[in-house]
């Protein structure tokens, strides 16, 4: 595989191998630092939207392994505006060894990958967020270890780009997933179809409900994300009226498994989709999850650069 655009492009085995590598690279990093496997390699990072975690964790992943990263802001590149995506892809392919792109339209990251001669990593689009999905899986495996087969993952709120990647990785790893979302905020039907095809092979059970209480019953993981994603800002007021019943709070988590963990990709809108007491409480793994972006991405980069 040349690129990392969607977790569903990979097999269960390939995803498991990348997660095993992430575990190895994380151990190596904390023990004596990473080997300089990216020496002489530069990652070009194209951002059409803001970022904290994706930008910094990719940059640090390259530096820890002896490589370098170059941040390219929306105004600098003018992707598809100042210059066509195909031309940007072909020009950058002569300067850097690998590209990461965060776009609004998923078609734009696909187009970049089509024209780039170097690997392209999807750093979030309106369709999915596969790097987040890998860090989420790493975190779930760290928390549940060998007991992770047959876990019940519940996602509540807006069934967005983060939900898509979480469902794809869950289906590939044989975890059950329930999505509790209000009408009009369901998961992308194409992504559901892909997930259902994977689930048929792995035995994972996928469920879609409206009732938030039903969604979290028996959950080992409760996951939520912002009610308004980047690019949807003009819908904020409307969404603030729809989503409050889906808030992850102490009452909701008391309805899940006793050892439930609470996840959020961040940035969190505290006391909207997730209350402060839960975000900072004993069930929350949100910072471990954020830190795992670094380790999961090292594995993705190593795999694409042929250093795995």
Would you name the residues annotated as active-site residues? 102, 129, 132, 225, 265, 293
CB nearer ligand NVA, residue 151 or residue 162: 162
Number of separate helices (H) and strands (E) present in the chain:
13, 9
> Cα separation of 3 and 282, whole Å?
37
According to CB under 6 A, which one of 96, 99, 124, 248 is a site residue for ligand CP?
A: 124
Output helix, strand, coil percentages for the chain, rounded to the nearest 5.
50, 15, 35
- Tell whether residue 3 is a contact of ligand NVA (CB under 6 A): no
Name the minimum Å distance from CB 160 to ligand NVA.
5
User: What does the DSSP 8-state code read for residue 264?
Assistant: E
- Sole binder of ligand NVA in the list 225, 292, 304, 305 (CB under 6 A): 225
Contact in structure between 284 and 221 (CB atoms under 8 Å): no
Min CB(289)–ligand NVA separation in Å: 12
Q: Which is nearer to ligand NVA, 41 or 239 (CB)?
A: 239
Q: State the angle between helix axes of 161-173 and 189-202 in degrees (0 to 180), rounded to the nearest 10.
A: 10
> Which residue stretch of 86-94, 136-144, 159-167, 244-252 sits at the interface with ligand NVA (rule: CB under 6 A)?
159-167
> Considering only CA atoms, which of 105, 54, 102 is closest in space to residue 74?
102
Binding status of residue 265 toward ligand CP by CB under 6 A: yes
Q: How far is the CB of 49 from ligand NVA (least distance, A)?
A: 7
Question: Which tokens go with 12?
Answer: 């269960």
Q: Is 164 near ligand NVA (CB under 6 A)?
A: no
Query: From the centroid of its chain, how far is CA 190?
Result: 18
Site of interaction with ligand NVA (CB under 6 A): 124, 160-162, 225-226, 229-230, 265
Site of interaction with ligand CP (CB under 6 A): 51-54, 124, 132, 265-267
């Amino acid at each position: 595989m040349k690129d990392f655009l969607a977790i569903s492009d990979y097999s269960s085995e390939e995803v498991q191998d990348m997660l095993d590598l992430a575990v190895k690279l994380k151990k190596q990093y904390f023990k004596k630092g990473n080997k300089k496997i990216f020496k002489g390699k530069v990652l070009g990072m194209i951002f059409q939207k803001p970022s904290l975690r994706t930008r910094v964790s990719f940059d640090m992943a390259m530096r820890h392994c002896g490589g370098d990263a170059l941040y390219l802001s929306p105004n600098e590149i003018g992707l598809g505006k100042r210059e066509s995506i195909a031309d940007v892809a072909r020009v950058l392919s002569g300067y850097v060894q690998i590209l990461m792109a965060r776009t609004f339209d998923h078609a734009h990251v696909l187009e970049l990958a089509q024209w780039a001669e170097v690997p392209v990593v999807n750093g979030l689009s309106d369709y999915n967020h596969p790097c987040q999905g890998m860090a989420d899986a790493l975190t779930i495996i760290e928390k549940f270890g060998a007991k992770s087969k047959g876990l019940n993952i519940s996602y509540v709120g807006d069934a967005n780009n983060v939900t898509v990647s979480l469902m794809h990785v869950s289906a590939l790893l044989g975890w059950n997933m329930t999505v509790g979302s209000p009408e009009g905020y369901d998961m992308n039907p194409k992504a559901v179809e892909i997930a259902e095809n994977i689930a048929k092979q792995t035995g994972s059970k996928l469920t879609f409900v409206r009732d938030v209480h039903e969604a979290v019953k028996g959950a080992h993981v409760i996951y939520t994300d912002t009610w308004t994603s980047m690019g949807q800002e003009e819908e904020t007021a409307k969404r603030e009226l729809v989503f409050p019943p889906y808030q992850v709070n102490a009452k909701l988590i008391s309805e899940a498994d006793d050892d439930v963990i609470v996840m959020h990709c961040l940035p969190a809108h505290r006391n909207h989709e997730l209350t402060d007491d839960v975000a900072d409480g004993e069930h929350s793994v949100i910072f471990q999850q954020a830190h795992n972006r670094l380790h999961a991405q090292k594995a993705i980069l190593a795999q694409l650069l042929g250093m795995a």
